[in-house]
């Protein structure tokens, strides 16, 4: 059911410093910051030959990344994102297997302009999983 690894998301305490590190130290192709108010984050995507890194920074007081950074002040891996062909079919199959979909269970539009869902980390070995329809 899952396809390619779309991205690995890293929550960071300083978005520009993290972007500069990838740009200058690693020579990566670093995109521009984009606010995602529906998700409470500002993101920067780093393009790699085989996937992407998504840098996450809190946007607003209710950002889920704010709480993550309070627990992990240096930042850290926040989630992994897999591609799926049909997000509704994937959601329904996962629910049938006992996996919990976070939020309302209805997809939201993510940073790439495509529907996304998040799955409870307790159901996936402690990893928060995002599914993105391609």
In angstroms, the CA 28 to CA 23 distance is 5
7-43: b (≥16 Cβ within 10 Å) or e: bbbbbbeebeebbeebeeeeebebeeeeebeebbbbb
**Per DSSP, what are the bridge partners of residue 44?**
55
- Tell me whether residue 114 is exposed, middle or buried, using C-beta atoms within 10 angstroms of its C-beta: 0 to 12, 13 to 18, 19 or more: middle
- Find the Cα–Cα–Cα–Cα dihedral 64, 123, 112, 3, rounded to 10°: 160
Least Cα distance to 9 among 98, 125, 110, 122 occurs for 110
Q: Is 130 an annotated catalytic residue?
A: yes
Please tell me which residue in 54, 83, 130, 132 is annotated as part of the active site.
130
Catalytic residues: 130
């Amino acid at each position: 059911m899952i396809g390619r690894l779309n991205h690995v998301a890293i929550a960071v305490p300083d978005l520009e410093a993290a972007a500069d590190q990838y740009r200058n130290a690693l020579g990566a192709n670093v995109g521009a910051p984009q606010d995602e108010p529906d998700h409470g984050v500002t993101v920067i995507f780093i393009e790699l030959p085989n996937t992407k890194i998504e840098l996450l920074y809190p946007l607003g007081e209710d950002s889920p990344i704010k709480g993550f950074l309070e627990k992990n002040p240096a930042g850290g891996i926040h989630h992994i994102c897999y591609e799926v062909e049909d997000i509704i079919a994937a959601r329904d199959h996962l629910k049938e297997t006992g996996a919990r979909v976070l939020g309302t269970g209805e997809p939201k539009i993510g940073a790439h302009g495509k529907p996304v869902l998040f799955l409870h980390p307790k159901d996936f070995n402690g990893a928060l999983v995002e599914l993105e329809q391609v």
